[in-house]
A and B are shown apart, each in its own frame.
Chain A
Amino acid sequence: MALALQTFATVKDANAALKAVGTRYLGGGTLVVRAANEGDVSVSSLVRSTDPAQSAIAVAGGKARIGASVTMAAIARHPGLAILAKAARAVGGPAIRNMATVGGNLFAPAPYGDFAVALLALDATVGTEDGELPIETFLPGRDGSRAIVTSVSFTLPKADGFRFLKVSRVKPKSVSVLSIAAILEQAADGTVSSARIALGCMADRPMRARAAERALKGKSLDQNGIAAALTAASEGIAPITDPIASAWYRAEVLPVHLGRLLLT
């Protein structure tokens, strides 16, 4: 392995170094160092920034800002982010969670990216030195992105408004067959007034289930009310195939698990 690491105190300097060919940012290294260990020669050098802002969590006034270098373990134990602890704990085993960063998760190809699925449902904003971008715009362009992600920001959902489910084959931990995150708001009569649903493993990166979201509007969260949404959930999906599950299997079980999530 021929890797060289450059460490910078500021994101600005690290961004400048990242412009060099063959250079990637080092988050927790769980994917990028693994790639190097496996002989991926497209990465010859790594840069990182030790700027404390990259590791900061700020929760105030119903909003959260998480620095890109914050680990899944740090999110899971932060009292202000308790609502997201389940999604953070869905990422790997304990050692992986101590290393895996939120920034790195945004770039993780399916079957990874479980926390990014949660961020997509949260309609998070992805911050770089050049400004902020909706996660929905960021994800499709991530492969060509050459800027260091500095943070993710979002409005905290209401205590019972966020639902997250990761389905895996080997318990308690293995990679996702699929993951689903949903933010649901209900009117006084219990019908769904707004819904945002994000899916993992249903494409090469997290995607929104827009047709299912539309089909839920105005419906109640019972077997009849969600039926149309479950049918619509498959619209536009192109699930991945890997040793855990085929695309066919993933597509078959999506409505089952979405149904369970919506009815809990």
Chain B
Amino acid sequence: MAKVPVQFTLNGSEKAEFIDSGTTLLNALRDKIGDTSPKGGCHQGTCGACSVIIDGELRLSCLTLAETCNGTTITTTSGLSESGVLHPLQRAFLDTFATQCGFCTPGMIMAAKVLLDHTPNPSRDEVVEALSGNICRCTGYEPIIQAVLTAARANSQNAA
């Protein structure tokens, strides 16, 4: 299998790797780079656990080939905390019991982050829509929706 060079910015650091052509971004991140925050749930695009943000857009890393990400900027959940302080979304997921097994959580947080980046004060419907590609089998969706709304409120209070 041909090796191809791939370079991108991951959570603020430059990454340059040689990967097998056809490797998914999910596998490249987890197996090659060692960022295991994106989870592999279904590998079919249906669960959202592998969601990452590429150049500001929510994408499924299980269906994205790593080599198509050359030159992009990628954010995963492991890049959100700063100097050991959790991102407001991470904090809110913990505080509102939106996490049980936690498998869906990184994908949920990525989907929520993109929403809050564009819509800092979303309505409940907007939160539901933003999370509609992400499946959680544990908590039910209500605590997750509350977590996102809580984080949005925390953000707007900080900004005020």
Contacts and interface: CB of A to CB of B under 8 A. Distances in A.
Interface of A: 1-5, 7, 26, 28-30, 33-34, 36-38, 46, 48, 73, 92-96, 98-99, 172-173
A37 B50 CA distance: 14
Contacts of A29: 63-65
Contact of A95 (B21, B43, B59, B129): B59
B143 interface: no
A33 B62 CA distance: 8
Interface string B16-33: 000001101000000000
A95 B128 contact: no
Interface string B61-74: 01111011000000
B138 to A, nearest CB: 18
Chain A contact residues: over half helix, strand or loop, or mixed? mixed
A204 to B, nearest CB: 20
A249 B128 CA distance: 28
Size range of the chain B interface in the assembly: 20 to 34
Contact of A94 (B22, B68, B130): B130
Contact of A4 (B1, B44, B63): B1
Interface in B70-119: 111, 114
Contacts of A95: 45, 48, 51, 58-60, 111, 133
A36 B44 CA distance: 10
Contact of B60 (A5, A7, A38, A99): A99
Nearest to B2: A4
Contacts of A99: 59-60, 63-64
A46 B22 contact: yes
Given A1-B22, A3-B21, A33-B24, A94 B63 contact: no
A96 B22 contact: no
A34 B42 CA distance: 10
B133 A96 contact: yes
A96 B1 contact: no
